[in-house]
Structure 1
Amino acid sequence: MLLFALCTLTVLIYAIINRKNRKNLIPGGICLLVLMPVGLVPFTQITLKIEFERDKEDRSKVIEMVRGGALKPNVTYNPSLIHLPEQYEKLSKGGGDIVVEGEGDDLQVLFFTFRGALDHFSGFVYTGNGTVPEGEVFGSRLVEVDRLGRNWFFIRGG
């Protein structure tokens, strides 16, 4: 993106210096037309919304398996992690693991959309009672929380 913006700036400067020939403005105009939607359209939010809606039913099945006890923490180094069965691994990026905290109405389940280093992550969270996750959740301070549905949120920690 930055490289494209620099190319656009170079083309525009060249066109201004050589403004006698109006054809020199065409490449700059094309670059601006391409650059505007890239900067104005929230592609990340659109993609996340599509991904959430596409896999919501399967995530709900996983929640029911966790609630029913069919899925329990199974990662030896972390008592909150559940490695999902093969058919559900795609629901959580970065290895197919989900994080489970609490139980009953206090249940919170995190499906990763990004699993970064240390405490940086993002993902879809199900909360059993529908309350907004806030403060420190899943071992990290939340920097973004967006409601996606009755019990569903998108969070970003860091």
Structure 2
Amino acid sequence: MTMQVSKEKKNISTALYFSIVSSFLLITINIVRWHLIEIITVFLEPLVELSIGLVFLASLISGLVYCVRTIRNKKFAALMPITISIVTILIVCFVPFTDIMLARDFNSNLKDREKVVSIIKTGKLVPNISHNESLIALPKEYAHLSKGGGEVVVKIEGDTLKVFFYTFRGVLDNFSGFAYISDGTALYQGDFNGDFHQIKKKKEHWYWGGSK
């Protein structure tokens, strides 16, 4: 009898531990997704997400099986693992992690991005990438303001200066970032050679755009 009780407690602990760890990993990957892409590239990051997703799925199935097997004898304990997994799914589905991280990025780095724009206006920062006359490689102290290499895109159209800071720099036309438009007009389809499917005004002169 003692051995059976001990075995049941071990099963509870294992199912609960598996559920907590997999849920923690799934929420964490949603929080740090864009930082992880910056570190290990857009090609490897999806593999990490897939691996964590499979671990979470295994945990979900394990928790469901455990619940079915023990619900009659241990109602509360039987429901705990599967409940944690369900709550985690709801958090991942309904908490706008990307929007939260973008808002934090924009607000915390706005002053530094405005400094970069001011330096560009003075002419002290000019395109300096040999293969692309629209790119500026930012000085080291400002490189963190534009993901994917610390480069910004600059366009001058008449008296209007447009500067694009990457928040995500994928392959081909797949990118997103914050755009400064000096004359206060909007970020338009085709600006910075982007096919923007999403454009949001952040404040006067500043927009966020996501290109396919």
TM over 0.5: yes
Give distance in 2, aligned partners of 1:62 and 1:73: 13
| Equivalent in 42, 67, 71 of residue 19 of structure 1 | 71
Q: Does 1:96 align with 2:132?
A: no
> Structure 2: which 5+ residue stretches go unaligned?
1-25, 27-52
Q: Distance in 2 between matches of 1:24 and 1:14?
A: 7
Q: Which residue of 2 aligns with 1:51?
A: 105
Q: What letter is aligned with 1:7?
A: S
Bigger strand share: 1
Which one of 170, 174, 186 corresponds to residue 132 of structure 1? 186
Tell me the amino acid that sits aligned with residue 144 of structure 1.
Q
Equivalence for 1:7: 59
Deviation at 1:133, TM superposition (A): 1.3
Query: Matches of 2:122 and 2:162 in 1, distance apart?
Result: 14
Deviations 1:9-60 (A, max 9, x none): 4422542355323232221112222332222111111111111111111110
- Which among 124, 145, 155 is matched to residue 209 of structure 2? 155
Q: TM-score, normalised by structure 1?
A: 0.90
- 1:53-99, Cα deviation, whole Å (9 max, x unpaired): 11111110111111111111110000000111111111111111100
Match of 2:39 in 1: none
State the SS of the aligned residue for 1:138.
Answer: helix
- The 1-side partners of 2:191 and 2:64 are apart by 48
Aligned counterpart, 2:115: 61
Q: Taking every aligned residue pair, what percent have the same amino acid on both sides?
A: 38
Q: Residue in 1 aligned with 2:173?
A: 119
Structure 1 pair 41/5, CA: closer, same or farther in 2 (3 Å)?
farther
Which amino acid is 2:64 matched to?
L
1:41 equivalent to 2:90? Answer: no
Secondary structure of the corresponding residue to residue 107 of structure 1: strand
**TM-aligned CA deviation for residue 119 of structure 1:** 1.0
In structure 1, stretches of 5+ residues that fail to align are: none
- For the structure 1 residues 134 and 88, does the alpha-carbon distance in structure 2 shift closer, same or farther, using more than 3 Å as the test? same
Give the Cα separation in 1 of the matches to 2:176 and 2:93. 22
CA-to-aligned-CA distance 1:86-116 (integer Å, 9 cap, x gap): 1111111111110001156421100011111
